[in-house]
Structure 1
Amino acid sequence: MDIAAVNALPYEDFVNIFGNVVEKCPVITAAVWTGRPFASLSALEAAINEFIDALPESGKEGILRCHPDLAGRDLHSGTLTQESREEQARAGMDALNTEEASRMARLNDEYKKRFGFPFVVCARMSDKANILRQLSQRCQNERAVERARGIDEVKKICRLRLQGLVLTDAPNKL
């Protein structure tokens, strides 16, 4: 759909379509709906990013906590969102060998114990080897650094999910 069609969506449809561009956070898209009309896909993305940036640190951590562990229980039990399932599969998270799966589980646990939220990375922009390397390296960061890095990754995920839903054509004539 183009941005004009996005702007014409009733509230319920907008939230249903865009409610998971930030993983399991439809409240964000519900809040930005009032900012219509959006001049472009970039303006919609900017509105979402501004909402996230305005949150207190605890709210940003809440967004991070909505994300599943990579190659974790939700993947294996089939309870991931459709978007996360596709993104993790594309990065090879559903095809880890025994050693990789064990290392991923150990690092995910270490990361969550250290920071209080799961490791978030834009899986669509990575592969399993890079994800394992980043997870290992990022376990060494300070909490504030990881919170900011996680939110940057959330924004990358959001951008790619939005691009999958909205045509990136000429700006809307307001």
Structure 2
Amino acid sequence: MKFCIEEINRLSKADFVELFKNVVECFPEAPEVVSEMVPFSSYAVLIKAFMDYLEQLNSIKKLKIVKLHPHLVPQINKSKLTDESASEQSTVGLNRMENDEKRVILTLLIESYWEKFNFPFVICVRECKSTDDIIESVRTRMSRTPEEELKVAFEHVKKITSLRIADIVSH
């Protein structure tokens, strides 16, 4: 069930934070801050509030948020996935990868990415058609500097956030 903006505006701060707690992966500070901006005149204004909040963060907090995202390869991922991440990763079959060539390639690429950047590879998997898209994206993004790649990873965080809000709120 999706909520309309009027229902969102009537939520208590605690309920707002609970409802939006994982729109930014494991970072409840975002809905805590955005809850102070209620009421929202529209869905677009709600999205803008979250995006503005994310944009104004310093690079240390942006890096922290990127590091809160899980690894895409289950064998590397040491922590339990949030329901949101598990659902998103299943859309391209990451949860069903067997011991095949693509899993091996993706695992090696993700490990190399981590070694180079010291943060997990973040991609909006809902924008990917297959694991091939993810593999190609990792390869492409490996050529960036850490500073450039943090910016790209954070843009994906914002895309993920927007899609997660769209899962909650009708527009």
Which stretch shows the higher mean deviation, 100-109 or 123-132? 100-109
CA deviations over 1:3-39 (Å, ceiling 9, x no partner): 0110110011111110101111111111110011111
Which residue in 1 is equivalent to 2:132?
Answer: 129
Unmatched runs of 5 consecutive residues or more in structure 2: none
- Structure 2 SS opposite 1:147: helix
- Structure 1 residue 95: deviation in Å? 2.5
Pairing of 1:80-119 with structure 2 (within 5 A): 80-97=81-98, 98-119=100-121
Pairing of 1:51-70 with structure 2 (within 5 A): 51-70=53-72
Note closer, same or farther for the CA distance 1:40–1:111 as it changes in structure 2 (3 Å cut).
same
Aligned equivalent of 2:18, options 9, 16, 19: 16
Note closer, same or farther for the CA distance 1:118–1:136 as it changes in structure 2 (3 Å cut).
same
CA deviations over 1:32-78 (Å, ceiling 9, x no partner): 10011111111111111111111111111111001001123476x88
Q: TM-score, normalised by structure 1?
A: 0.90
- Give the distance between the partners of 1:51 and 1:79, measured in 2 at CA: 27
Runs of 4+ with >3 A deviation: none
Note closer, same or farther for the CA distance 1:74–1:110 as it changes in structure 2 (3 Å cut).
closer
RMSD: 1.6
Q: TM-score, normalised by structure 2?
A: 0.92
Pairing of 1:134-173 with structure 2 (within 5 A): 134-168=137-171
- Structure 1 SS opposite 2:60: helix
Note closer, same or farther for the CA distance 1:55–1:151 as it changes in structure 2 (3 Å cut).
same
Q: Report the count of equivalent residues.
A: 167
- Structure 2 SS opposite 1:124: helix
